[in-house]
Structure 1
C-alpha cells in the first residue's frame, strides 16, 4: 500500500526538495494534497507530475486566475485550509508543514488531526505556539519530527536516550554572510552582501536573519521547547563550515556529534525513511572538513542580538510572537532600504525592551487566535512607532 502524503507549501524550497525525493520513489507514495500561496503555475506542474487531485491556493487573485485551469485537469482547487475535512477521507500517513512565517500556523495546527506523522519546517509555529501544538499532537496521537537541520540532528541523536542525561546542547551557527565583516563596516553594508549566504541556498529574509544571528536565537527557542530544556542547557557555537549541526554533552561524560552535508535533502529524507523508500545517495565523509572544524564562541560584540536570549522568559508566553513579528517587520524595512542594517539591530533591541511589549512576557497563549491577533496588533504598532524613524 502506498504512503499517503500531504505537503503544505509545496512550491517552497523544502516542498521542492521533498518532491525531488518522492520522484525517485514514485511507486511508494500517493500525494493527497499540495498547497501554495501565489505560485499556481509551479503548483499545476507539480500536481500533474505527481497525479495530485487536490490543491489549495491561498492568495485570492491567484486562486481566481487559476481555478478554471486546474479544473481542466480534473484537479479540485480550494482557497482555504478549512477544507481539510472535505479533502481527507482518512488520516494521511505523513504531512510536511513548510509554509513560511505565521501564515503556516493555522494549517499546521488544523492538519495535525488528519495525519499520523507531521514533519514541521515552519519554525514560527513551534516558536510561538508549541504549547498549543503539543496538546494537539498528544490529543490525536500524531508523531512530530522537526525538520530544521539542527533540531532534526538533535532529535536523531537523542532517539532512545533519556533527556535527563543531557548536560548541554550545542547548536552550531555558520556565522552567516557577514562573519568576516567588521562591525564598523555594517552601517554601510549592501543588501547584496547580506543575503549572500556562503553555505546554504536561502531566501532573502532567512539570509538576513542568519546574518544578524536572530535565526539562531529562534532555533534556541525551538530547541528549548521541543526537547523540554532550559536556556542554560543550550549554547550557540560558531562553525563556519556548517558540517556539524549540533553536538550533545551528556552527564555521563559522553559526547555525540551530528554531521551531514549542507543539504536539506538529508533531514527531509530521514523524516520519510520509515516508509518504503530507496536509500539516499550521499557524499563520502569529508575528512578535510572534519580535520578543520574551526569552532569558536559567539561574540555579543559581533552579534549583539545574542543578548536577546537573556530577555527570553522560561515559560510559554506571547513574548515569542512579539520577537518574531518585530523582527519580520524590521527585515522588510531593511530589504526595502527604509532602514540600515545597524538600524535593524538597534531598533530590535530597543523595541523588545519597551513598555508596550515587555508585558507579553507574562501572558500565555491559550489559542491560535491569541497569537494571530497579537501579530496584527504589533504590525500596526511598529508601522506607526516613533522609533522606526528615529536615528540612534
Structure 2
C-alpha cells in the first residue's frame, strides 16, 4: 500500500525538493493534497505528474482561473485550508510537509496535525509565533514532529535520545550571508540585487534578505528555544561562511557533537521522509579541505545589529514574537519594493521593538490563532502610522 503524503506549499523551493525526493521512489507514495497561493501553472503541472486529486489554491483570483482552466473533472480544487477536513475525512496519512512561507502557514499546520502521523515543518513563523498551540495538538493527536530547517534538523539529530538536561550549549551556524566580509562603510550602498545574491543557498526572496541581515538567525534561535525547550542562554550563533557544519551540541558529559551535510535541503528533507529506514541517498564525500578550515567566527554586531534582538526576548513564549516576525516581514517587503534601503530594515526594526505599544506583548501568551493574526494585523497598521 502506498504511503499518503500532503505537501503544503508545493511550488516553493522546499515543496519542489520534497517532490524531487519522492519522484525517485514514486511507487511507494501517493500525494493526497498539494497547495499553493498563486503559482497555479506550476501547481497544475505537479498535479499532473504525480496524479494528485486534491488541490488548494488560496489566492481567490488564481483559484477561479484554475477552476476554468482545469479540464480534468477528477481533480478537486479548493480555495481555503478549511477544506482539509473534507479532503482527508478523519483519516491518518503518513507524512505532511509544511513548506508555506509566512504566518499564513500556521492555520494549515494546526488543521492538519490531527490527520497526519508525521509532520515536517519548514514554516518558521508557525514555530516562532504559535509553538505552544502546535505542541498542544502534537501531544493530543500523538503526531510526530521533525524540524526541517538544516540547523534544527541537525540539532534534532544530534540530541536524539538525549535528555535536554544533559545539554550544556547548542551552537547554530550562520553563513553570514552575502555581506559577511563587506566593509561596514559600504553597507549604505547595498542594493536589492546584491542582497538577493546568497553565496551558498538557493532560497526565496524574503528569507534571502533575512539571511543578509542575519534576522534569520534570530528566528532560528527562537525556534530552537521552542522546539527543544531550551533557555536562550544555552543557544549561541557561530558564523561559518562555508555552511558545512550546521549545528554543534556540547553536552555536560564532556562530549561535543557536530553535524555536517551537503549545502542543500535535500538531505534534511530526505531524512524527515525516510526517518528510521535503511533508505540510501547519494551525497558528496567528506570534504577534508573544508574540515581543515572550518573558519568559525563570532557575530559582528555592527554589521548585523538585529542579532541584538535576542537579548530582548522574553523567557516564555509570548505575542512579542509575532510583533517581531510581522515587523520584519513588513520591512523586508518595503525594502524589496524600494521604499526603504537595506540599513533601514535593521534600524527601524530595532526602533519598533522598543516601542511601548509593542513591548507590552512580552507578557501575553498566545491563546489562539485568531489572537496571533489580530496582533499581526495591528503591527502592520502601527508601522504604517508610525513616523519611521
Q: Same fold (TM over 0.5)?
A: yes
Residue pair 1:175, 1:240 contacting (<8 A) in 2 also: yes
Asked if 1:179 is matched to 2:173, the reply is no
| 1:390 match | none
**Aligned to 1:271, what secondary structure does the other structure show?**
helix
- TM-score of the aligned structures, taking structure 1 as reference length: 0.97
**Aligned to 2:22, what secondary structure does the other structure show?**
helix
Structure 1 stretches of 4+ with a deviation exceeding 2 A read 68-73, 274-278
Residue pair 1:7, 1:34 contacting (<8 A) in 2 also: yes
- TM-score of the aligned structures, taking structure 2 as reference length: 0.98
| 2:17 match | 17
How far did residue 83 of structure 1 move?
1.0
C-alpha separation in 1, matches of 2:294 and 2:272: 27
Q: Which runs of 5+ in 1 are unaligned?
A: 388-392
C-alpha separation in 2, matches of 1:185 and 1:299: 15
Residues 338-353 of structure 1 aligned to structure 2 (within 5 Å)? 338-353=339-354
How far did residue 151 of structure 1 move?
0.1
Residue pair 1:25, 1:277 contacting (<8 A) in 2 also: no
How far did residue 71 of structure 1 move?
4.5
C-alpha separation in 1, matches of 2:53 and 2:215: 39
**Aligned to 1:296, what secondary structure does the other structure show?**
coil
How far did residue 278 of structure 1 move?
4.3
| 2:82 match | 82
| 2:70 match | 70
Q: Which runs of 5+ in 2 are unaligned?
A: none
How large is the RMSD of aligned CA atoms in angstroms? 1.1
| 2:322 match | 321
Asked if 1:256 is matched to 2:287, the reply is no
How far did residue 191 of structure 1 move?
1.2
| 2:295 match | 294
How far did residue 302 of structure 1 move?
2.2
| 2:49 match | 49
C-alpha separation in 2, matches of 1:17 and 1:104: 18
Cα deviation, 1:38-89, whole Å, max 9, x if unaligned, reads: 1111111111111111110000000000113335252111011111111113
**Number of matched pairs:** 387
| 2:37 match | 37
Cα deviation, 1:7-49, whole Å, max 9, x if unaligned, reads: 0000010000000000000111011100010111111111111
| 1:94 match | 95
